[in-house]
Structure 1
Amino acid sequence: MRNHRANFAVTGSIMSIVFLLIVNIITSPDYLWFVHPAFALIQWPIAMYFAATGRIKLYSLVSTLLLIIYLIWENIIQGAGHPWFLYPALAVIWWPILMYAGRYAATLGMAIISSILIIGSYGALNLLFSPEYPWIIFVAYTILWWPMSIYFTRSRRWFDFSLCASLLTSALFIIVNAISSPDEIWAIYPIFAVIWWPLSMHYYAKHPQV
């Protein structure tokens, strides 16, 4: 049964891709749009094969490589001088990395090391291709929640978590305010809302509900 399903998936994908290729060449040969549905169709037999064999880790690696090749193709076809495929590629590669990490993927050490590598890699892209604006601060803000959440969740220090998260968020608003619009101090408004999180945590810890 599994062989029949796999054969059907392979045959169906090939037939569909060939059909789309023919239609593409006949109707609009100047633009190879068939690549987009072909990329999705290829995932069908690949997913069935690796699901049947139980090799999910290898599936994540193969799918990631195919996705990166697809992104490179799109980058080249669009003729852009900017290698934008690097931005999603650096994010996608963490799927197989975390899959192969196994039980270590949920550890604090893995979160810290991964966060440093992610922030460092995107920081390098920021410096190389768009140094005029430090957008890395948004990536860093998002990624830092990963190790911070693991640490405070396991230690069950909820108030400390709310305090650190509020400080991190407030720092983001202050930095963005200073960089984007230094003539207008607007960061105090969202910061005022954010500080109510640790304040409420502290109040209910001291005065629990009856």
Structure 2
Amino acid sequence: MRRSEWLPVMLATAIIACVAVALDLLLSPSLTWSPFLLLLLLLWPLSHLPYRMFSIIGSTLVFVTLALINSIETPHYAWVLYTLPIFVWPISAWFPRTFKTSLMAWACFFIISLYYIGLNIGWEDRFPWAIFPVFALLWWPMTVQFVRRPVLYAFVMSGLLALFFIVVNLVTSPQELWAVYPIFVFIWWPLSMYYFYGRQILSK
């Protein structure tokens, strides 16, 4: 970023920071939420640094901000542990080519999934909530794996979506069979993909 561009960015950041602090002092007797906002506000000027450096500083800043909020607002429950995978960001920034491979996608999926499953079992075991982040993470390696086979990707992911909703249905409310409704919605995805690519093949 050019030096001439730094001035308006820093000036705007300072103005927003002053307004936030003023509002915080007017609405409450002490600074309650503005310090956290100021920490995140620093991401704007820092985003103009080289991307690799910004990924390290940005991920650390976000984690520190969340850790401070956790320690001040809810010190009895360390929910900041759920945000530790944010440090995958700088790793991906420093090794971009490696992160585009299927092997790395699957490796990260299993490592992060095991981390959340471990938290679910050892930290918060009242509900099997790990199925939600694990399923969300599964889209990453599956997309890398089947990026050049869209029809197969649509069928595989639709099957996994159906399995996911069935599992959630059985875990949360087994007395009501509501999983059929979302399954009916996304089943059109593979059918439309098969029809679209099938017509292309027949036209040739």
More divergent stretch after superposition (123-132 vs 73-82): 123-132
Q: Distance in 2 between matches of 1:12 and 1:47?
A: 14
Distance 1:206 1:42 in 2: 51
- C-alpha distance after superposition, 1:43-86 (max 9, x if no partner): 355345x2xxxx32012101111111111111111134111122
2:116 to 116, 122, 138: 122
Question: Distance in 1 between the 2:156 and 2:40 partners?
Answer: 42
SS at 1:85's partner residue? helix
Q: 2:72 aligns with which of 77, 80, 83?
A: 77
Amino acid corresponding to residue 173 of structure 2 in structure 1: S
Q: Residue 154 of structure 2 is aligned with which of 144, 159, 162?
A: 162
CA separation of 1:157 and 1:29: change in aligned 2, threshold 3 A: same
The normalised TM-score by structure 1 is 0.77
Aligned length: 202
Q: Are 2:21 and 2:31, in contact at CA under 8 Å, matched by a contact in 1? A: no
Q: CA deviation at 1:159?
A: 2.2
Aligned counterpart in structure 1 of residue 180 of structure 2, from 177, 183, 188? 188
Determine whether 1:33 maps to 2:25. no
- Aligned to 2:95, the other structure's residue is in SS state helix
What TM-score do you get using the length of structure 2 for normalisation? Answer: 0.79
Query: Which of structures 1 and 2 has the bigger CA Rg?
Result: 1
1:172 Cα deviation after fit: 0.5
The aligned residue for residue 66 of structure 1 is 61
State the alpha-carbon separation in 2 of the partners of residues 10 and 46 from structure 1: 10
Structure 2: which 5+ residue stretches go unaligned? none
Instruction: Say if 2:34 is the partner of 1:42.
Output: no
Where does 1:11-30 land on structure 2 (aligned, <5 Å)?
28-30=28-30
Distance 1:24 1:203 in 2: 57
Deviation of the 1:11 alpha carbon: 8.7
Kindly provide the amino acid, as one letter, of the partner of residue 42 in structure 1.
Answer: L
Once superposed, what is the RMSD of the aligned Cα atoms?
A: 3.2
Inter-CA distance 12–186: structure 2 relative to 1 (3 Å threshold): closer
